[in-house]
Chains A and B, each alone.
Chain A
Amino acid sequence: MEKVVNGISVNWEVAKRKGKDKFLASNKHLNAEEQLSEMFDKVVPPKKPEKPSSGEKKK
């Protein structure tokens, strides 16, 4: 069974397509922004900023 958190079930296919900001905006009426944000981050972990590779020359 799909995971339901605090009474909210998300269609992750749609959520991933929308991206986090648009997903949160489209579900503002649920008044659960913080929860939805946490859920989204668990399913789609935020990307870490890329470190410059060791071989890259500093200018």
Chain B
Amino acid sequence: MDINRVDCAVGGANTGFGDCVLTLGGIKKAILVSPDFVFDPSVYATPELAIAALVSASQADLPSDRIYPLSEIVGITNNSEGVVTQTLGNGTPVVVRDGMANWLLQYTDGGNCVSNALRRFNRRRLAILFIDDNGVLFGTKVGQTIKGIPLAQFYALPFGVNDFANIANFSFQVIFNPSYINEDLGFIQLPLGSLMQLTGLENINLVLSGARAVNVVNVQAVTGCSKLNLYDEYSAELVVASNWKASMNGKAVAIDTVALNAASKAFTVTLDADDPNYVVGAPIVLTLAAPSVLEGNGVVGFEGVPLNIA
């Protein structure tokens, strides 16, 4: 390499085009991902396998490895900054830079529950993938892979009140450098129906259904949003002992048995009082096993939220 030499590559590019070109359609869905998430379509032989990989990533055991499919987008307000120009002394306006993309995306599915979940992502370091109405999943191209568009800001807004003329408004704002989806656009077309079915994990909250008796607790398993007791639908699957985890003072304590309690539509969980980590009278933290373990036992698409029992 020479010093003091300007790279004078020929600018511009040919403007001819064929019959089949990409024109992105309306955005139907978004997926929040870690900035480190990489989607490499070349790994997957068929669209179905690519979709399966996305489903798997949406249910990853570690939250840091997980992708978070959001509800269907029902409206977009483009608040993007215009091209920033400076007017020179002689009156010539010159472009300083592109304006930042600033989109406000509205959704309705999931309502306040999803809104509160999304607000926990506010101001975190995130990236995002979008899906248009032709099933084009797009982000930013890095080598032969697609990564999420790095966000300068993600902000889920407080919900807007239903004013008798408009439904409650749920929306989130994304701000990013437009180069990520212009020169650096990366996309792949997949079946839209399958992409729209991507959903995030649903929380299972454990609720005490009676006083703790030494090393025995009775808990109901209810969904995080609707508080639906899962006993009727999942009692046979959830009762499996390997679905349950307990700890005391931060150390794992083995489960002895789990039994159905039909009267209170709950689960009787007996901890092993002989476990070396069992401490008489110490608080118990009870939770469910990792999503992959739950899935293996027939409880698909859920993650347990730990319950502290004094």
Interface residues of A (CB under 8 A from B): 1-2, 4, 7-11, 13-15, 17-18, 22-23, 26-27, 29-30, 32
Contact = CB atoms under 8 A, between A and B. Distances in A.
Given A1-B237, A2-B242, A26-B270, 16 more contacts: A1-B296, A11-B241, A11-B242, A11-B254, A11-B256, A14-B256, A14-B272, A14-B275, A15-B256, A18-B272, A18-B274, A27-B256, A30-B257, A30-B259, A30-B268, A32-B259
A27 B259 CA distance: 10
A30 B275 CA distance: 20
A9 B260 CA distance: 9
A14 B260 contact: no
A11 B255 contact: yes
Contacts of B47: none
Contacts of B296: 1
A22 B256 CA distance: 11
A13 B240 CA distance: 14
7 contacts: A4-B236, A8-B259, A9-B240, A10-B241, A18-B274, A26-B256, A29-B270
Contacts of A27: 256-257, 270
Nearest to B274: A18
Contacts of A14: 254-256, 272, 275
A29 B213 contact: yes
Given A11-B257, A30-B259, A1 B241 contact: no
Contact of A2 (B213, B241, B272): B241
Given A14-B272, A30-B268, A4 B256 contact: no
Contacts of B297: 1-2
Nearest to B259: A8
Nearest to A22: B274
Given A1-B298, A2-B241, A7-B259, A13 B254 contact: yes
Contacts of A15: 256-257
B270 A2 contact: no
A56 to B, nearest CB: 38
B195 interface: no
Contact of A9 (B254, B259, B274): B259
A31 to B, nearest CB: 10
B228 interface: no
Contacts of B260: 7-8
Contacts of A8: 239, 257-260
Given A1-B298, A14-B256, A18-B274, A9 B268 contact: no
B241 A26 contact: no
A14 B252 CA distance: 13
B76 interface: no
Nearest to B242: A2
B240 A4 contact: yes
A14 B235 CA distance: 22
A49 to B, nearest CB: 28
B273 interface: yes
Nearest to B235: A7
Interface in B248-269: 254-260, 262, 268
B256 A7 contact: no
Nearest to B237: A1
B216 interface: yes
A1 B216 contact: no
B273 to A, nearest CB: 7
